[in-house]
């Protein structure tokens, strides 16, 4: 884990840029007796949350640290707006679709690594970066997990008939819609498709990624969602498709047994599941979206 150790006096040019960059104010100007100034890093109460902003802002790489990789240097870091235009970024975001049709082709580890790398750079509450990723590419394991999730559906179908048993899981409206074969969330339709051999959980994707983390606060779910968003956009830039699989997430959240089988530590729970693969569908335009409901207070 990143630990700031101090400042390399030989490199520091005393520009003071580290001072405002630190949100917990751990850098200070010290006046020596000869009135020479020195910048000091002082963290007796361990407030540093390892955001690395001091490392990113220092023009002479004078921040001393341990427990982390080298900073990533690239010339556009200074002006992120020059990396990608708003128009191009919007095109990327607008054309991201949940892909449910995949080619047979498997996914190279290199591509998966590139996606994981994008997720590593996502923001997290208090910079916890506490997520762990379980990458499943073995077809039998994916099938097994899909079967387990489907069994939950069978169980749900049985339980939902009894109104009082279903109460902790769903509202009355959702319960009725799940049981009604004419709705899009009908369990019956899902189970019939399953009988025909269709995988309506993972859509035969060659890779499933499960995000798990200790449930440290309400922010855990937010952190994971953001990481998945990063991964999805990165996947798209690599010509890959993705889809968030809430059904599997819900199942894994509840099933201690399967979490254990998958080697997910006892103290962790599952905050997101998504699939990746080579899409076998091409979209020609972005679908319409609801108007943003915005209130301004000016």
Ligand X SMILES: Cc1cc2nc3c(=O)[nH]c(=O)nc-3n(C[C@H](O)[C@H](O)[C@H](O)COP(=O)(O)O)c2cc1C
The distance of closest approach from Cβ of residue 98 to ligand X in the complex, given in angstroms and rounded to an integer, is: 3
Nearest CB to ligand X, comparing residues 42 and 237 = 237
Q: 228 or 264: whose CB is closer to ligand X?
A: 228
DSSP codes joined into one string, 40-63:
EE--TT-------HHHHH-TT--E
Residues 102/277, Cβ–Cβ less than 8 Å? yes
Which C-beta is closer to ligand X: that of 245 or that of 252? Answer: 245
Buried b (16+ CB within 10 A) or exposed e, 142-178: beebbebbbebbeebbebbeeeeebeeeeeeeebebb
d(CA 207, CA 108): 10
Smallest distance, ligand X to C-beta of residue 197, A: 17
Shortest Cβ 61–ligand X spacing (Å) = 39
| Nearest-angstrom CA–CA distance, 117 and 235 | 11
For the CB of residue 85, give the shortest distance to ligand X in the complex, in Å. Answer: 22
Q: How far is the CB of 51 from ligand X (least distance, A)?
A: 27
Instruction: Dig out the tokens for 235 from the structure.
Output: 């996947």
Q: Which residue, 67 or 246, is less far from ligand X as judged by CB?
A: 246
Tell me, rounded to whole angstroms, the distance of Cα 77 from its chain centroid. Answer: 22
Q: Which residues bind ligand X (CB under 6 A)?
A: 97-98, 100, 243-247
Could you give the residue ranges of the DSSP H alpha helices within 67-216? Answer: 86-94, 109-120, 139-160, 163-166, 172-179, 187-195
- Residue whose beta carbon is closest to ligand X: 246
Residues 71 and 37 sit within 8 Å (Cβ to Cβ): no
User: Are the beta carbons of 275 and 208 closer than 8 angstroms?
Assistant: yes
- Considering beta carbons, is residue 41 or 251 the nearer one to ligand X? 251
Least spacing, CB of residue 170 vs ligand X, in Å: 15
Closer residue to ligand X in complex, CB, 51/226: 226
């Amino acid at each position: 884990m990143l630990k700031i150790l101090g400042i390399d006096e030989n490199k520091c040019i005393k520009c003071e840029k580290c001072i405002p960059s630190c949100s917990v104010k751990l850098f200070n100007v010290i006046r020596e007796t000869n009135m020479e100034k020195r910048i000091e890093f002082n963290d007796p109460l361990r407030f540093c949350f390892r955001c690395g902003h001091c490392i990113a802002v220092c023009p002479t790489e004078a921040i001393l640290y341990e427990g982390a990789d080298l900073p990533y240097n690239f010339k556009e870091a200074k002006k992120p707006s020059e990396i990608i235009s708003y128009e191009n970024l919007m095109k990327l975001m607008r054309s991201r679709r949940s892909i449910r049709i995949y080619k047979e082709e498997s996914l190279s580890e290199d591509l998966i690594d590139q996606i994981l790398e994008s997720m590593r750079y996502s923001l997290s509450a208090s910079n916890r970066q506490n997520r762990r990723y379980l990458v499943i590419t073995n077809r039998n394991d994916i099938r097994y997990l899909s079967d387990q999730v489907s069994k939950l559906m069978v169980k749900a179908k049985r339980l939902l008939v009894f109104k009082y048993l279903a109460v902790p899981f769903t509202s009355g409206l959702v319960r009725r819609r799940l049981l009604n074969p004419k709705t899009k969330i009908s369990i019956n339709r899902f189970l019939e498709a399953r009988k025909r051999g269709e995988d309506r959980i993972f859509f035969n994707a060659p890779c499933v990624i499960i995000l798990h983390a200790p449930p440290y606060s309400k922010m855990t779910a937010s952190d994971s969602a953001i990481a998945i968003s990063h991964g999805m956009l990165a996947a798209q830039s690599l010509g890959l498709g993705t889809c968030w699989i809430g059904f599997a997430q819900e199942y894994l959240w509840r099933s201690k047994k399967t979490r254990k089988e998958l080697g997910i530590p006892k103290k962790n729970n599952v905050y997101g599941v998504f699939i990746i693969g080579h899409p076998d569908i091409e979209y020609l335009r972005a679908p319409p979206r609801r108007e943003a409901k915005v209130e301004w207070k000016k």
